Chains A and B, each alone.
Chain A
C-alpha cells in the first residue's frame, strides 16, 4: 500500500489544483509493487514526474519509437478499471509523425493518471488531441521536448467537467532546437461542482531561435459553482521568436448569440449550438473519421445532459483563477 506522503498535495506547485492525496480513499488506493529507489522508477520520474513514478511502481510504462519518416495514428483510452497510472514514452526520429488521440470518458468515481513524454526529432510532427470528461480526479499530462530543428507540435484538447468531476490537462513543451512550431488550443466547460484545470508551460531555450509558439485556453462556466483554473506559463529565453498566448473564461459571446437569433434560431437552441461549436473548434480535422465522429458524439451527448440556463455575457458565480507566469528574456 502506498504511503500517502509519496503523493503530491496542493502544496506541490505542479499539483496545486489537483489534490491527489485527498482524492485517495479506502476504495481508491495504488498498490506499489516496486521501490521508490528502483532505477526504473527514478528514470520514469525523470520523464513523467509523479505520474511516471507511479506508472513505474504500480502501473504501466510503454515505449513507442517511430523510425525516420514513419507515421502512426494512435488512440488511447485511459480507464479506471484497474487503477493503472500510465506513462507513454515516445521517441520520434527525424521526419516521423505521430497523431495521438486520447479519449477519457468513463470513471466517474475513479482516479485516472496518464502521462506522455515525447521527444521530437528534426522535422518530426507530434499532433495530439485529448478529450477529457474527468473523473473523481483525472489528470492527463503531456511533456514534449523538441530536440531537432524545424519540428512541429500540436496539442489540442477539450475538457467537460460535469458535477463532481475533475479534469486536468497539464502540458509542458520545451523548445530546445530552432525553427520549431507549437500550436495549442484547449477548450473546456464546467458544470456545478465540476472543476477544469489547464496548466500549460511553454519554454523556449536559449538558441531555439525562430520558434513560433501559440497557446490558447478558453473556458466556459456553465453553472454556478463551476470552477476553472488556468495557469499558462510562457518562458522565453531566445530573442528571435514569435510567441502568443491567450486565456479567457466566462460566458458565451453575446454578439454571436444575437447573430443566430436574428436568423430565427431560438435562444436556447442558439446557446446549445454555440457551446457545441465552442468545443468542436478544438477537435482536429486530422482525426480519423470514425474517431472524430465518436468525439463529436460524446460532446453532443455531454451537452444534452447539461442544462442550458445561464445568460450570455454574464459569468455565473463560479470560480476562475488565472495565474499567469510569463517571462521573457532581456
Chain B
C-alpha cells in the first residue's frame, strides 16, 4: 500500500535521509523509531511535500501512485495524512471552518459533490462523539489555547473526518502526560482498520505500549538500520540506539 524505495532527502543543504526503503501493507501499523536528529521528522515532511525538503533520489508511492510529483494538497487527496508533532495555531480561524475547507477541498479533488454546512456539522459532531471529544472545541480558533493533549486529539479527529488511506503520526506522544497519551492512543487505535495503514514515528517505546505496532523499524544515519517485530522496540528501550549508530 505505502512503498518507499531508496529515498534520499536533503534539507537545509545537507542530506538527511540516505537511501531509505520501507513498505507498510494495508491494515498494518508500523513504528519508526530513532534517536533525536536521525531524520524522522524530515522523512515525514518530505513524504507530505513540505517546501524545503528536497527529494534528490528514490521513490514513494501510495497504492502504486507516485507521490513525489504531487503538491501537498494532491497527496492529501490521494489519502495521505500527516499528524503533526506540533500542530499549528491559527488565530481567527475556527476549527470547524478549517475542517470544512479541508473536507470540501478533498471532495472536490476526488470529484465528489461538496458537502453542505449542516451535513458537515453533523459529520463532525458524530466523529467527535465517537472519539469522546467535546464538540465545543470545534468552535474555538484552531489549536489556539488547546492543551498538548487537545491538540493531538484534534489531529486524531481530523484523521477520523478525512479518512486517509495512510497516516504518518509524527511524535504523537511528545508533550503529553501519561493520561493524555492513553486517550490519544485510544483515539488512534479507533482509527485502525483493514483498509488503512499507519506509520507511527516516535523515539520512546512508551507510546508503543498503547499503539501496538505490527512491525518496528529503526532509523539511524538516514537509513533503516534494523526491522523486526514489537520485541525490537523493547530491545531498544533496554539497550538504546548506540549499537545502530556505531554499526551504521
Contacts and interface: CB of A to CB of B under 8 A. Distances in A.
A264 interface: yes
Interface stretch (A63-71, A141-149, A189-197, A254-262): A254-262
B28 interface: no
Contacts of A282: 92
B161 to A, nearest CB: 10
Interface centre among A256, A267, A278 (most CB of B within 10 A): A256
A264 B77 contact: yes
Interface centre among B82, B101, B158, B162 (most CB of A within 10 A): B101
Contacts of A294: none
Contacts of A253: 88
Contacts of A320: none
B106 interface: yes
Contact of A266 (B73, B82, B88, B91): B73
Interface in B45-72: 48-51, 71-72
Contacts, number: 79
B101 A261 contact: no
Interface residues of A, number: 25
B218 interface: no
Interface string A263-279: 11111011001101111
A281 interface: yes
Given A263-B102, A266-B105, 17 more contacts: A256-B88, A258-B51, A260-B98, A262-B49, A262-B73, A262-B75, A262-B76, A262-B81, A263-B101, A265-B105, A266-B73, A274-B93, A276-B92, A277-B92, A277-B93, A281-B91, A281-B141
A274 B90 contact: yes
B82 A262 contact: yes
A280 B92 contact: yes
B71 A277 contact: no
A263 B48 CA distance: 10
B87 interface: yes
